[in-house]
Amino acid sequence: ETGVTQTPRHLVMGMTNKKSLKCEQHLGHNAMYWYKQSAKKPLELMFVYSLEERVENNSVPSRFSPECPNSSHLFLHLHTLQPEDSALYLCASSQGLSYNEQFFGPGTRLTVL
């Protein structure tokens, strides 16, 4: 595997379910990001981790809970989501926080029923 991978690619869940999104980067980067991409809206930054420490929590509701166990892996734990949370969730990584270019994974298409 190369680059940034995300699993699952598609997820359908009910509002009472608990699920997790996984991201893995194979680039040796130190910073990882979660973005939300909704239809016809700009990418919204959700969380940022640098060297496994969270440096940004962009006013995201607590029903989204990130976890970064090491610099290669990033999770987004989901519970009691709302239908408006349906979106494409993108993971990205960069060499470090001060590096401009972010490399994106293919995303997880989430549908909340």
Choosing from 11, 21, 31, 74, the residue that interacts with another protein (CB under 8 A) is: 31
Residue 53 makes contact with another protein by CB under 8 A: no
Nearer residue to another protein within complex by CB, 29 or 78: 29
> How far is it, in rounded angstroms, from Cα 60 to Cα 39?
18
Say if CB 105 and CB 21 are below 8 A apart: no
Say if CB 64 and CB 87 are below 8 A apart: no
Residue 43 makes contact with another protein by CB under 8 A: yes
By CB under 8 A, how many residues form the interface with another protein?
25
What's the closest the beta carbon of residue 16 comes to another protein, in angstroms?
Answer: 29
Say if CB 11 and CB 21 are below 8 A apart: yes
Would you say the C-alpha torsion 71, 60, 92, 86 has a positive or negative sign? Answer: positive
Residues in contact with another protein by the rule CB under 8 A: 4, 6, 31, 33, 40-43, 45, 48, 55-56, 90, 92, 94, 97-98, 100-107
